[in-house]
């Protein structure tokens, strides 16, 4: 990449210093306290509000278009594919195969995005995946001419598998790009993208269903394919190429992040939200069909539910950017969702709640998606802050790692959720589906609470000390282990957030440099 800097629109890793950096909340100074020098953290005054640049606006538009169109395609497919398969006389069992291939492809390739995005670079990843996605949906339109089972199912599975690859790359690159472009507003920008995810889910069935009914099978796929091709063109002219092929976090910092309780707990909660969405998509439509109000009413209920997510995701992003909230409050999300699922059923134990009340079900679905938006945006914001706190630099490689971890957790849950929802609904009824859904939320909330609230470092030290006393020649003592950790990396072996005292600006102080200045989450997670 030596000569890449001469290519218009290309920025290599050497130019990342010009990328806007997250402004630190604290600065390290030495204060004279009682005649002794003491290292303290001084909170900096808030930065002046800046307007969005034209480049930021165009990047946000490109990312929003990609999020909207790809999820319009996802939400349109369940409305179009099943009746087409029945019409062609193909066994309905192949429907599940075609849908599962897409989910399996995402589950396989999403974890690899932490390597793929830095290697390809932001612009190549975004433009290339948008272009491939557009071609996939244009190719899917030609399946209208396939009349036999083999001629329809085999190409459909191949196309859906490639769709999963494009989806994983496009959704990851979109979020990485907006994080790089909005370093001080990452949670807000992520909330905007998630809002357009909800817009795509809302209008996908409406537009896709109308085109399918009025024109035919090929029309919605041609519309979405052309839209993604135009998104690729927009990204080509609005997004800069930032690669991270030479950027790799030290293994010490990566291990510290992977073992971080807050990071793990947020991953567990994202998995639980994926399970909920999988159950939601599988069991809700047949349940609403029992009202016998027609597809129009069902579509309206789905639209209200998805609009709740579309509207609240950017709101939560704005709130978490403006207000410092302890990350453990994310546990409130699955608890509230679990309670709402109990009312939605209602579960067998709540006999005083009348069953089959459409307005009550609509309100419950609205609240569930508000809670899902809360957990998603809060978890993403927390995972990003914990990555910076653990020593990872704010660059394309770090953002790709966080986004890949975030979406991998979600889509692993979406693989499990439909299996649970379909099996329980086919064997019992929707009340038991609600009971299982609420139980999973309470269970995962409890697991995440255990992970986040237990002082695992103290437990680990006690276990190591006990092990060293029993097997002194096999297990090293805590003192030796900490000494080796400090020598292996410039990053302290323990979470040093408690080593600093937060003060207001001292009267007699001299600055010693920006020690840990990019860690604006010092003290982040304090329960005080």
Instruction: Please report how many Cα atoms fall inside a 13 Å half-sphere around the Cα of residue 204, on the Cβ side.
Output: 27
Over residues 172-200, the mean pLDDT reads 83
Identify the pLDDT of residue 35: 55
Q: Does residue 491 register a pLDDT over 50? A: no
Contact predicate 95/85, CB 8 Å = yes
Over residues 225-246, the mean pLDDT reads 83
Q: How far apart are CA 428 and CA 128, in angstroms?
A: 45
Per-residue three-class SS string for 265-306: HHHHHHHHHHHHHHHHHHHHHHHHHCCCCCHHHHHHHHHHHH
Q: Percent of the chain at pLDDT above 90? A: 21
Give 498's pLDDT tier (boundaries 50, 70, 90). very low
| 104 three-class SS | helix
Over residues 426-448, the mean pLDDT reads 90
Per the DSSP assignment, residues forming a β-bridge with 31 are 38, 509
Identify the pLDDT of residue 413: 86
In this predicted structure, which of 150-159, 254-263, 288-297 has the lowest mean pLDDT?
288-297
Per DSSP, the residues of 302-321 read HHHHHHHHHHHHHHHHHHHH
Residue, of 12 and 278, whose pLDDT is higher: 278
DSSP 52: P
Closest residue by Cα to residue 177 from 55, 290, 266, 276: 55
Q: How far apart are CA 295 and CA 161, in angstroms?
A: 30
Q: Does residue 436 register a pLDDT over 50? A: yes
Identify the pLDDT of residue 167: 92
Instruction: State both tokens at 93.
Output: 């069992």
Please identify which residue in the block is written with the tokens 């309206």. 300
In this predicted structure, which of 253-262, 267-276, 323-332, 489-498 has the lowest mean pLDDT?
489-498
DSSP 168: H
Q: How far apart are CA 48 and CA 70, in angstroms?
A: 36
Contact predicate 244/396, CB 8 Å = yes
> What radius of gyration do the chain's Cα atoms show?
25
Q: Does residue 126 register a pLDDT over 90? A: yes
Q: How far apart are CA 190 and CA 406, in angstroms?
A: 12
Over residues 238-261, the mean pLDDT reads 72
Closest residue by Cα to residue 175 from 163, 191, 161, 198: 191
Per DSSP, the residues of 449-509 read HHHHHS-HHHHHHHHHHHHHHH-TTTS--HHHHHHHHHHH-SS-SS-GGGGS-EESPPSSE
Q: How far apart are CA 24 and CA 250, in angstroms?
A: 22
Q: How far apart are CA 275 and CA 109, in angstroms?
A: 19
Q: Does residue 206 register a pLDDT over 50? A: yes
- The dihedral sign for the CA sequence 461, 466, 467, 472: positive
Over residues 372-389, the mean pLDDT reads 89
Identify the pLDDT of residue 466: 65
Identify the pLDDT of residue 460: 62
Buried residues in 15-27 as b, exposed as e (16+ CB within 10 A): ebeeeeebebbbb
Give 233's pLDDT tier (boundaries 50, 70, 90). very high
Over residues 317-324, the mean pLDDT reads 82
Q: How far apart are CA 376 and CA 329, in angstroms?
A: 13
| 43 three-class SS | strand
Over residues 468-494, the mean pLDDT reads 57
Q: Does residue 228 register a pLDDT over 90? A: yes
Give 247's pLDDT tier (boundaries 50, 70, 90). low
Identify the pLDDT of residue 7: 36
Over residues 158-162, the mean pLDDT reads 93
Q: How far apart are CA 493 and CA 480, in angstroms?
A: 12
Identify the pLDDT of residue 207: 87
Identify the pLDDT of residue 499: 37
Please identify which residue in the block is written with the tokens 């159950």. 279
Residue, of 409 and 19, whose pLDDT is higher: 409
Identify the pLDDT of residue 243: 60
Give 176's pLDDT tier (boundaries 50, 70, 90). confident
Examine domains 54-246 and 247-442 and report if their fold is the same. Answer: yes
Contact predicate 249/397, CB 8 Å = yes
Q: Give the orientation angle of helix 122-141 with respect to helix 218-238, to 10 degrees.
A: 160
| 16 three-class SS | helix
Residue, of 431 and 103, whose pLDDT is higher: 431
Contact predicate 24/518, CB 8 Å = yes
Residue, of 34 and 347, whose pLDDT is higher: 347
Per the DSSP assignment, residues forming a β-bridge with 39 are 30
Q: How far apart are CA 376 and CA 201, in angstroms?
A: 16
Over residues 203-213, the mean pLDDT reads 84
Per the DSSP assignment, residues forming a β-bridge with 29 are 40, 511
Over residues 265-277, the mean pLDDT reads 91
Fold assignment, 54-246 = Growth Hormone; Chain: A; (1.20.1250)
| 486 three-class SS | helix
Per DSSP, the residues of 110-137 read GGGHHHHHHHH-HHHHHHHHHHHHHHHH
In this predicted structure, which of 62-71, 253-262, 327-336 has the lowest mean pLDDT?
253-262
Q: Is the pTM of this model over 0.85?
A: no
Q: Does residue 315 register a pLDDT over 50? A: yes
Tally of CB atoms within 10 A around 154: 12
Q: Does residue 119 register a pLDDT over 60? A: yes
CA dihedral 423, 425, 431, 436 (to 10 degrees): 20
Tally of CB atoms within 10 A around 84: 17
Residue, of 217 and 29, whose pLDDT is higher: 217
Identify the pLDDT of residue 512: 35
Identify the pLDDT of residue 461: 65
Contact predicate 118/247, CB 8 Å = yes
Mean of the per-residue pLDDT values of the chain: 76
Identify the pLDDT of residue 234: 92
Identify the pLDDT of residue 496: 39
32-36, 257-261, 438-442, 467-471 — most confident range = 438-442
- The full set of domain ranges for the chain reads 54-246, 247-442, 455-493
Per-residue three-class SS string for 134-161: HHHHHHHHHHHHCCCHHHHHHHHHHHHH
Fold assignment, 247-442 = Growth Hormone; Chain: A; (1.20.1250)
Instruction: State both tokens at 424.
Output: 């329980």
């Amino acid at each position: 990449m030596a000569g890449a800097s001469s290519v218009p629109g290309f920025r290599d890793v050497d130019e990342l210093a010009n990328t806007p950096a997250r402004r630190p909340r604290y600065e390290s100074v030495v204060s004279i306290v009682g005649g002794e020098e003491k290292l303290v953290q001084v909170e900096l005054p808030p930065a002046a509000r800046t307007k969005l640049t034209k480049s930021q606006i165009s990047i946000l538009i490109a990312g929003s278009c990609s999020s909207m169109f790809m999820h319009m395609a996802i939400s349109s497919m369940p409305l179009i594919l099943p009746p087409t398969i029945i019409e062609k006389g193909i066994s309905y069992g192949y429907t599940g195969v075609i849908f599962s291939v897409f989910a399996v492809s995402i589950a396989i390739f999403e974890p690899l995005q932490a390597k793929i995005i830095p290697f390809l670079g932001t612009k190549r990843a975004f433009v290339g995946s948008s272009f491939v996605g557009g071609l996939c949906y244009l190719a899917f339109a030609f399946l209208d001419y396939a009349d036999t089972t083999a001629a329809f199912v085999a190409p459909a599975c191949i196309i859906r598998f490639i769709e999963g690859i494009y989806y994983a790359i496009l959704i990851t690159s979109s979020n990485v790009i907006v994080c790089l472009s909005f370093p001080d507003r990452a949670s807000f920008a992520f909330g905007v993208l998630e809002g357009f995810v909800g817009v795509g889910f809302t209008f996908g069935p409406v537009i896709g269903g109308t085109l399918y009914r009025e024109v035919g099978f090929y029309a919605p796929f041609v519309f979405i394919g052309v839209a993604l091709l135009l998104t690729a063109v927009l990204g080509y002219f609005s997004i800069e190429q930032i690669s991270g092929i030479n950027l790799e976090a030290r293994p010490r910092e990566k291990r510290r992040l992977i073992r971080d309780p807050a990071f793990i707990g947020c991953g567990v909660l994202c998995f639980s939200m994926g399970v909920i969405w999988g159950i939601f998509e599988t069991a809700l439509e047949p349940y609403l069909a029992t009202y016998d109000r027609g597809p129009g009413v069902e579509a309206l209920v789905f639209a209200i539910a998805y609009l709740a997510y579309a509207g609240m995701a950017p709101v939560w992003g704005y709130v978490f950017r403006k207000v410092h909230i302890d990350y453990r409050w994310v546990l409130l999300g699955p608890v509230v969702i679990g309670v709402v699922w109990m009312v939605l059923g209602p579960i067998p134990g709540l006999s005083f709640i009348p069953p089959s009340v459409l307005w009550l079900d609509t309100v419950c679905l609205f609240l569930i998606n508000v809670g899902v938006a809360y957990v998603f945006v809060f978890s993403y914001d927390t995972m990003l802050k914990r990555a910076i706190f653990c020593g990872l630099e704010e660059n394309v490689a770090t953002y790709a790692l966080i986004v890949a971890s975030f979406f991998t957790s979600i889509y692993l849950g979406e693989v499990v959720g439909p299996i649970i929802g379909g099996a329980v609904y086919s064997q019992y009824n929707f009340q038991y589906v609600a009971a299982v859904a609420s139980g999973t939320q309470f269970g995962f909330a409890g697991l995440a609470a255990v992970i986040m609230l237990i002082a695992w470092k103290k437990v680990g030290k006690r276990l190591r000390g006990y092990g060293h006393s029993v097997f002194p020649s096999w297990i090293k003592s805590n003192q030796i282990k900490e000494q080796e950790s400090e020598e292996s990396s410039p990053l302290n072996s323990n979470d040093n957030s408690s080593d600093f005292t937060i003060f207001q600006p001292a009267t007699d102080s001299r600055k010693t440099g920006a020690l840990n200045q990019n860690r604006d989450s010092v003290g982040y997670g304090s329960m005080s």
